[in-house]
Every structure is written in C-alpha cells, then in structure tokens.
Amino acid sequence: MSDKAWELTHSVEMDASLAFAWNYWANVANWEDPPAKFEVDGPFAAGSRGTTRLPGQEPLHWLLRAVTPPNTATIDLQLEGAVLSFEWRFDPLTDLRTRLTQRVVLKGENAAAFRAQVESTFSSSLPDGMKKLARAIADAESRSKDSG
C-alpha cells in the first residue's frame, strides 16, 4: 500500500506576468489568510523555516524544502509520522498571464490519522483561496503599472 493518504490539486489563471506573480507570492508578507499569520526565518529559499500562527493554537512550523524561482516551491509541514506538502507551480501562459497550481499532498506512515482533518480543511478552501490569491496578485500588478 502507498504511504500517500490524500492529494488535491487546483489551478487558477491570472492576468499577471510570471516574474511579478512569483515575486509577489515569494514575499511572505503578502500571504493573506486571516486569521493566520505567516513568517519565514531567512530568505525565501530551500532550507529556510517558517511559522504559521493561528489564534488559540500552537504555532505550526514548516520548511521550504525546495525552491526554484520563478517556477516552483515546496513547503513541508511535519506532522507526527506524516508530512503535509504544499507544492506550488507558476507557469507562464503568455508574457502577461500566468497559471498558478497548488498540489497538497499528505503522506507518511501515519498519514491516515490526519486524512479526515486535512481533507475537510482543504477540499472546500483550496479553490476559493487560490482564486483570492490570483486576484490579489493581478490587482497588485495592475496597481504597480498604474503607479509606475
């Protein structure tokens, strides 16, 4: 039996160049997912560690496992006997349009213990969260063109 317990992939397209989309997203200060707060210790590069803080919960610590600007990044959240990975991919469609794909993978010997919680959290929120992010990136690039 595979140790992969669950996986979900969702893509969105946005009116933003690849370079702008990547630079916006790779700046953790732009990660907007209230009430969560995010921080990264060091550069947005493989090996850097980050923290997600949610009110009333212990901080969640994660690792930037792989980063290949401006196309891919993988963030791993270590669970007890499992890993929850967030694989991000940025693909240029034209000079001014980019497809953003996020693949969420839960795997490991104890992954089944986390499956229900992970599935209920991300199955409903991932599509809307991706749309919100795409709008934020497109709006930010539009504003930067208007002001520059």
pLDDT band at 33 (very low <50, low <70, confident <90, very high): confident
- Domains recognised in the chain with CATH numbers: 4-147 (3.30.530.20)
How far apart CA 56 and CA 90 sit, in angstroms, is 33
**pTM, entire model:** 0.93
Q: What is the pLDDT of residues 95-105, one digit of tens each?
A: 999 999 999 99
Please state the rounded mean pLDDT for residues 95-120: 96
C-alpha dihedral sign at 100, 131, 9, 35: positive
Of 137, 143, 148, give the one whose Cα is nearest residue 17.
137
Confidence band of 54 (pLDDT split at 50, 70, 90): very high
Distance, in Å, from the CA atom of 126 to the CA atom of 103, rounded to the nearest integer, reads 10
Average pLDDT, the chain: 94
Tens digit of each residue's pLDDT (9 = 90 or more) over 127-136: 999 999 999 9
Share of the chain above pLDDT 70, in %: 97
- If we measure between CA atoms, which residue out of 66, 60, 59, 61 comes closest to residue 44? 66
Confidence of residue 3 (pLDDT cuts 50, 70, 90): low
Alpha-carbon distance of 132 to 16, in angstroms, equals 14
